[in-house]
């Protein structure tokens, strides 16, 4: 219920921002046009944002025949979590990373990069995918996917103002156009910050419970964080509004990306996971497989 309420509030705020930007660009007529665009964007994001994001990263769907080990691992984890089996995708990218998307557990997808599958152990991959399944189970994926799509639309609105300008007959004229050029990109950043960082902590905890071994995820986070700092994710650099979807910020390679930081410090996440591991005790972990 809380996730649904949060998503609704976020969409309402973004719709209001579209209206403000439309008014600044074209007065009342611009506001009406912006309202139509906002409604269409919200509806499109709800039904299609997951497909857009997967296509954006060139993700290819795999099954038990094309990727038996990875697909089988996700299937085991989904069974342990008591969840429907999500669609499984692989992204051809050297940076180890992963994300989940979809409007609900019945229409969910999880994706991992080739870099993650090559550089992590099977146990660490299990920890990562358990984290992503926890996002699905908590219904965080709708929030993440919709915000990524609408934040991208806000960026397009800013580009429109930059290249085409606004209606000089609007109440704010050139000043309104300049405000949109400034406000829309800032909104894309604020949208990501609006997604509480506690979501990642909750998914870490849920992922540890699903796979039964908090240290697997802790080790994976350390490796992914170190690799992300030195490996570019070109697709993410072109679409920074999607950065909050990944398990580790994919934009670490450039200092400017700190503006879009939406993840808790990796060291804090690892510390909490290892505290969970100590509290539970290795002997208390549920058997794997």
Among candidate residues 221, 133, 148, 156, the one with its CA nearest the CA of residue 189: 148
Let me know how long the chain is: 289
Burial of 56 (0-12, 13-18, 19+ CB in 10 A): middle
Contact present, 102 and 81 (Cβ < 8 Å): no
Provide Rg for the chain, Cα atoms: 20
Active-site position among 124, 132, 200, 215 = 132
Q: Quick check: is 132 catalytic?
A: yes
Contact present, 41 and 149 (Cβ < 8 Å): yes
- The span from the CA of 89 to the CA of 62, in Å, is 6
Instruction: Classify the C-alpha dihedral 224-228-234-236 as positive or negative.
Output: positive
Angle, alpha carbons 138-257-133 (nearest 5°): 20
- The span from the CA of 202 to the CA of 199, in Å, is 5
Backbone angles phi, psi at 99, to 5 degrees: -155, 165
Burial of 5 (0-12, 13-18, 19+ CB in 10 A): exposed
Contact present, 154 and 240 (Cβ < 8 Å): no
What is the DSSP track for 103-163? SSGGGEEEEEEHHHHHHS-HHHHHHHHHHHHHHHHTTHHHHHHHHHHHHHHHHHHHHHHHH
Which residues are known to be catalytic?
132
């Amino acid at each position: 219920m809380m996730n649904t309420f949060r998503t609704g509030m976020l969409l309402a705020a973004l719709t209001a921002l579209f209206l403000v930007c439309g008014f600044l660009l074209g007065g009342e007529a611009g506001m009406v046009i912006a309202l139509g665009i906002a409604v269409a964007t919200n509806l499109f994001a709800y039904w299609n944002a997951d497909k857009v994001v997967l296509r954006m990263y060139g993700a290819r769907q795999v099954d038990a025949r094309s990727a038996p080990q990875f697909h089988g691992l996700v299937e085991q984890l989904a069974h342990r979590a008591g969840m429907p089996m999500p669609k499984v995708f692989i992204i051809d990218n050297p940076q180890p990373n992963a994300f989940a998307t979809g409007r609900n557990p019945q229409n969910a997808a999880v994706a991992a990069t080739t870099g993650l599958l090559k550089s992590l152990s099977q146990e660490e991959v299990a920890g990562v995918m358990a984290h992503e399944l926890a996002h699905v189970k908590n219904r965080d994926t709708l929030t993440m996917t919709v915000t990524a799509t609408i934040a991208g639309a806000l960026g397009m609105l800013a580009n429109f103002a930059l290249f085409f300008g606004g209606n000089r007959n609007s109440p704010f004229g050139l000043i309104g156009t300049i405000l949109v050029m400034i406000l829309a990109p800032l909104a894309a950043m604020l949208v990501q910050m609006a997604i509480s960082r506690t979501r990642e902590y909750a998914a870490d905890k849920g992922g540890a419970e699903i796979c039964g071994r908090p240290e697997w995820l802790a080790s994976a986070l350390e490796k992914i964080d170190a690799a992300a700092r030195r490996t570019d994710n070109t697709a993410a650099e072109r679409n920074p509004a999607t950065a909050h979807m990944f398990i580790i910020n994919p934009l670490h390679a450039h200092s400017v990306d700190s503006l879009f930081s939406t993840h808790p410090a990796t060291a804090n996440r690892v510390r909490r996971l290892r505290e969970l591991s100590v509290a539970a005790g290795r002997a208390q972990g549920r058997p794997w497989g």
